[in-house]
């Protein structure tokens, strides 16, 4: 009797040029801190989230995604007016879950990238709202029309930004 197993699906783990992750993260954090000062519409952008998600989905290692999300979130906290640790907690969840999903799914298609960024934007907002409610006793809404618009804007930006970030990969 022959036992057949399903063929294993190979999902490529991407490597990046030296300094690519640090450079992209630094650029996103600087732009996140200074763009809203000059352009009020830029307050809807969540560039650190996009960078966290891109590298988490590409590297496909939950520990790396968790650590990257934590570091990006804590630096974002230090550059913003939010309490230290708020974005750190949220981006840690996003980095871990993004890497876990990236290890199981092909996330190279623009529609999957759009859907993932849209979903993870709302996950981050839910973690932020829950953390503010539980730890800071502040009432924060989970979903509002501006948050919905921001999630659509960030998801559309990811469809454009992620292929540009693909150029930072080392050739395989």
Looking at residue 3, its pLDDT comes to 58
Q: How confident is the model at residue 6 (pLDDT cuts 50, 70, 90)?
A: very low
Measured CA to CA, the distance from residue 156 to residue 32 in angstroms comes to 17
- Is 20's pLDDT higher than 60? yes
3-state secondary structure 60-112: CCHHHHHHHHHHHHHHHHHHCCCCCCHHHHHHHHHHHHHHHHHCCCCCCCHHH
Q: What is the mean pLDDT of the chain?
A: 90
Looking at residue 166, its pLDDT comes to 92
**Tens-digit pLDDT profile for residues 48-96:** 999 999 999 998 899 999 999 999 999 999 988 888 999 999 999 999 9
Q: How confident is the model at residue 4 (pLDDT cuts 50, 70, 90)?
A: low
As a whole-number percent, the residues of the chain with pLDDT over 90 amount to: 72
- pTM of the full structure: 0.90
Residue spans of the domains in the chain: they are: 20-168
- Is 113's pLDDT higher than 90? yes
The whole-number average pLDDT for the span 5-13 is: 58
CATH 1.10.3110 given to domain 20-168: no
- Is 35's pLDDT higher than 90? yes
């Amino acid at each position: 009797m022959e036992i057949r197993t399903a063929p294993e699906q190979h999902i490529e783990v991407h490597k990046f040029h030296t300094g690519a992750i640090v450079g992209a993260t630094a650029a996103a954090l600087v732009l996140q801190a200074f763009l809203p000062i000059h352009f009020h519409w830029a307050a809807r952008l969540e560039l650190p989230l996009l960078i966290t998600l891109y590298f988490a989905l590409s590297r496909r290692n939950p520990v790396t995604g968790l650590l990257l999300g934590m570091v990006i979130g804590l630096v974002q906290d230090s550059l913003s007016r939010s309490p230290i640790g708020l974005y750190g907690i949220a981006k840690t969840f996003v980095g871990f879950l993004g890497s876990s999903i990236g290890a199981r799914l092909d996330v190279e298609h623009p529609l999957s990238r759009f859907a993932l960024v849209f979903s993870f934007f709302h996950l981050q907002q839910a973690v932020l709202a829950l953390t503010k409610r539980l730890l800071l006793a502040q009432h924060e809404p989970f979903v509002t029309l501006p948050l919905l618009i921001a999630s659509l804007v960030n998801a559309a930006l990811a469809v454009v930004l992620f292929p540009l970030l693909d150029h930072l990969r080392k050739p395989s």
